[in-house]
Amino acid sequence: METPYQNHIAKADFDHVYEPAEDSFLLIDALERDLDFLKAKNPTFCLEVGSGSGVVITALGMALPNAFCISTDINFKACEMTKTTAKYNKVLMDSVNMDLAVSFVNNKFDVILFNPPYVVTETSECGTCDITASWAGGDKGREVTDRLLDMIPKKLAQDGIFYLLLIEENIPNEVVEIMAKFGYKSQLIVSRKLRNEQQLVMKFFK
State what percent of residues in the chain have pLDDT above 70.
Answer: 100
User: Buried b / exposed e across 113-136, counting CB within 10 Å, b at 16+?
Assistant: bbbbbbbebeeebbeeeebbbbeb
pLDDT for 204 beyond 90? yes
Cα separation, 79 vs 129, in Å, equals: 12
Domain boundaries, the chain: 11-205
State what percent of residues in the chain have pLDDT above 90.
Answer: 81
Cα separation, 75 vs 157, in Å, equals: 26
Class of domain 11-205: alpha beta
What's residue 6's pLDDT?
85
DSSP letters spanning 166-196: EEGGG-HHHHHHHHHHTT-EEEEEEEEEETT
Residue pLDDT, tens place only, 81-106: 999 999 999 999 999 999 999 999 88
DSSP letters spanning 4-23: PP-TTS-GGGGGTSPPP-HH
pLDDT for 31 beyond 90? yes
**With contact defined as beta carbons under 8 Å apart, do 62 and 91 qualify?**
yes
Residue pLDDT, tens place only, 58-82: 999 999 999 999 999 999 999 999 9
What's residue 66's pLDDT?
94
Residue pLDDT, tens place only, 108-152: 999 999 999 999 999 999 888 888 889 899 999 999 999 999 999
Residue pLDDT, tens place only, 2-29: 889 888 887 778 888 988 999 999 999 9
Question: What is the rounded average pLDDT for all residues in the chain?
Answer: 94
